[in-house]
Amino acid sequence: MALFYRVQQFLASLWPRVTAKEWVTVADSLPAAAAALFERMARRDQRHSLDVLHRVRRAAPGQSDLAAAALLHDAAKTALPGRRLRLCHRVLIVLLQATRPGWVQQIARDDPGSWRYPFYLHTHHPALGAELAQQAGCTPLTVALIRRHQQKLAHPPSDEIEHLLVLLQAADDAS
């Protein structure tokens, strides 16, 4: 089942589209600098983020910080020129995680000139994305949600941020 899901996910990422109505949604949901950050993301990441946004809005209407986090949670993967996590890297990461757990973290290097840098981006994109969102004028709650979006809770949510985090993670996992 996981293999079928990954194949489906790969095929959908080959021809992603964003509608004019969704561009308006982005502009309405983010500060101007954050919307510009979203525009710099690869189209497949934009599509994924919009899918996450649609899910969190159904689960928690009116949560603007959650909506902004949905749109920018993966921004660090592709928003910086010359520092992108490309489709070939994503495929390799999925294969490595399935066959050699821990290798992605072991080969990751914080050197943008290295072939290992995309693995660093994958591993550290929550913290890097949170920094980008903060610089783009997002709220502290949005920044915190982005920073923690890969951290699974070991207990039921105990406060508002953890409740929103669980919603973001569920929507992200479903996309």
What tokens were used for 97?
Answer: 């995680």
Q: pLDDT value at position 67?
A: 98
CB 131 within 8 A of CB 148: no
Report the SS3 class of residue 158: coil
- Of residues 124, 112, 115, 46, the one with CA closest to residue 80: 112
Question: Can you say whether residue 74 is alpha, beta or left, with left for phi > 0 and alpha for psi between -120 and 50 degrees?
Answer: alpha
Domains of the chain: total: 1
Average pLDDT per block of 10 residues along the chain, 175 residues long = 65 79 97 97 94 97 97 91 76 83 85 88 94 97 97 94 97 91
**Global pTM value:** 0.86
Q: pLDDT value at position 175?
A: 79
For residues 162 and 22, what is the distance between their CA atoms, to the nearest angstrom? 27
Q: pLDDT value at position 104?
A: 82
Tell me the residue range of the domain where 95 lies.
2-174
Q: pLDDT value at position 85?
A: 74
Number of other residues whose CB lies within 10 A of the CB of residue 171: 24
